[in-house]
Structure 1
Amino acid sequence: MSKQLQSDIVLTLVTMIWGSTFIIVKNAIQSLPVYNFLFIRFLLAFLLLAAIFYKKLKKIDKSTLMAASLIGTMLFLGYAFQTMGLLYTTASKSGFITGFSVVLVPILEAILLKRKPTKAATVGVVLAFIGLILLTTNIDLSINIGDFLTLLCAFAFAMHIVLISKYASKMDTYLLATVQIGMVALLSGIVSLIFEKPFIPTSLDVWGAIIITGVFATAFAFVAQNTMQAYTTATHTALIFSLEPVFAALAAYLIAGETMSIRAIIGGAFMLAGIILSELPEKEPEKR
């Protein structure tokens, strides 16, 4: 099995985990402030990874620490801007604008990493974006501060993917993931102390959500993403991650009985077609 195929499989698994835990997170933050939840979730993941990779952490160098801190800051800003944006815009528009990161990634990758996407990947991005439009309902063309904040969220998530692609092949990916998770925990804790009234939850359901998301959707997912992105492009990663709302919709259907519209199903098909198309090899130019 090629490294590219391995990375596709693992990144798809990560996307499935994120999508399937969306409803778990949604239920948990009904009784726990958002950043309070993020702090505990990411702190649990950091402590778990720190215990596993403590020997590596003792020998971490400055360049890895700085790169991982920058990546972690971008990841935190993605969550922060998305949460702030939701105060002023609808959930459907938030999902649509956040998904715009699938378009931003190839642009940022071309500018920052000097890697132009293949023609197949470009068409794949277009199909995936059309799928996001179809999957996200009740979109209007008005713009407000919430939409702008959510656009900043999409930019931050896109930068997170591109920066991982930049450093994953040069640095220890286990350390990259561990430190960036720790950075999100630190920043979430600070924001929670300033703007929320943080507390330790007592509900078993909330702790179940924290453990599931902390272990699988954070510790495993980000270690897997950082490691697998060393074998694929940022654009290809973004295309796979664009399937998250599809998996979220499937999980909502299976767990909560929420129905999927025909439009949503067609949108998911467009996104899947975009990913499959991006897998096609680039044709070699014919020699004269």
Structure 2
Amino acid sequence: MQIRTWQADLVLLGITAIWGATFPMVKNATSLEAGGVPTYWFLAVRFLMAALLLAAVFHRRLRRLPAATWRAGVLLGIFLFAGYAFQTFGLAYTTSAKAAFITGLSVVIVPVLSLVWLRTAPSPAAWLGVLTALAGLAMLSLDGSLAPSRGDLLVLMGAFGFGLHVAGVSRFGAAHDRYALAVIQLGTAGVLSALLHLADRGTVLPGVAGVLWWGGPAHVGTAVIVCGLLATAAAYLLQNLLQPYTTATHTALIFAAEPVWGAVFAYLLAGEVLTPRGYAGAALIIAGMLMAELPAGRDRRAAAS
């Protein structure tokens, strides 16, 4: 099937909407005060459920895979796990607003990685879009002191993990079976999350059935199903399939819309309202994405594809 760049971009934008919608759901499910579960337990079940589901559907593609595909998938899984793990560690030592902005710095990290690792120079339009989206992220997320803390540095390492994952999908997606890559990377992230939970809690990781039928809060089981099926299995499969039709830099710009979607769903589900500065920041993020659609940016992406 012939996929156009704008079609891939539109689906990737839809993925960020799914991730934005799950913010309040995940926060509630991992709140121990609200009867939730430990964060790394949730991540492990989320990723392992997604990996098992995709493996069941695409099991024939996993047979006799070359070692290079396994190495690429494991590496992508390590990058994905590092993004979530460092972000979660850092959140214990910094504010969520600063963490959201620092995580959004991947929109700047990815073009640098594209230049160094992928040997692909982003277009001037893409760089302009990056800087505009970065300014929007700052207005949307930052508040109070800008002095870096230990938590800020940990979240920054998480941003590098997410940036490496986006760049890695562009690096390996064209050379390997993308379905197999999705299964391997999600399985790797799930296993590493389970090991981290075991090291942190010293308890055996419960199974998925334990979440759904142990008699615990219904919101935990709902969050596991929605995040495992939609925000992980479907979202990362689509990212692996469609990102090669655009560029890593443009994907990072699209993913910068995630806090905008988060704000939208926070308003719809919890009645939270942005400040005027927040609305201005959201507008700049959208403007940055549109700038990457300038003719020079489209021509560069077409050549790269």
1:42 correspondence with 2:42: no
The corresponding residue for 1:154 is 159
1:130 correspondence with 2:131: no
Question: After the TM superposition, which of the residue ranges 55-64 and 249-258 deviates more from structure 2?
Answer: 55-64
The corresponding residue for 1:260 is 274
Question: CA RMSD of the aligned region, Å?
Answer: 1.3
- Give % identity: 44
For 1:226-271, what per-residue CA distance to the aligned partner results, in whole angstroms no more than 9, with x for missing partners?
1111111100000000000000010010011111111111111101
**How many aligned positions are there?**
284
1:177 correspondence with 2:182: yes
State whether residues 5 and 245 of structure 2, in contact with CA within 8 Å, keep that contact through their aligned partners in structure 1. Answer: yes
State whether residues 8 and 246 of structure 2, in contact with CA within 8 Å, keep that contact through their aligned partners in structure 1. Answer: yes
Distance 1:126 1:61 in 2: 40
The corresponding residue for 1:274 is 288
The corresponding residue for 1:104 is 109
For 1:37-86, what per-residue CA distance to the aligned partner results, in whole angstroms no more than 9, with x for missing partners?
01111111111101000111123221111001000001000011001111
SS in 2 for 1:282: helix
Distance 2:13 2:70 in 1: 28
1:16 correspondence with 2:33: no
SS in 2 for 1:38: helix
Distance 2:3 2:225 in 1: 33
Amino acid at match of 1:212: V
Q: CA deviation at 1:205?
A: 1.5
The corresponding residue for 1:4 is 5
Q: CA deviation at 1:2?
A: 5.4
Structure 1 runs not aligned, ≥5 long: none
Q: CA deviation at 1:204?
A: 2.0
Distance 1:18 1:205 in 2: 17
TM-score (norm: length of structure 2):
0.90
Distance 2:279 2:86 in 1: 28
Distance 2:227 2:141 in 1: 24
State whether residues 3 and 245 of structure 2, in contact with CA within 8 Å, keep that contact through their aligned partners in structure 1. Answer: no
Distance 2:257 2:280 in 1: 13
Distance 1:159 1:255 in 2: 32
Q: 1:243 aligns with which of 240, 257, 272?
A: 257
State whether residues 20 and 262 of structure 2, in contact with CA within 8 Å, keep that contact through their aligned partners in structure 1. Answer: yes
Distance 2:174 2:144 in 1: 39
Distance 2:81 2:264 in 1: 26
Distance 2:79 2:43 in 1: 15
Q: 2:198 aligns with which of 193, 203, 221?
A: 193
Amino acid at match of 2:225: I
1:141 correspondence with 2:146: yes
Amino acid at match of 2:237: V
State whether residues 92 and 139 of structure 1, in contact with CA within 8 Å, keep that contact through their aligned partners in structure 2. Answer: no
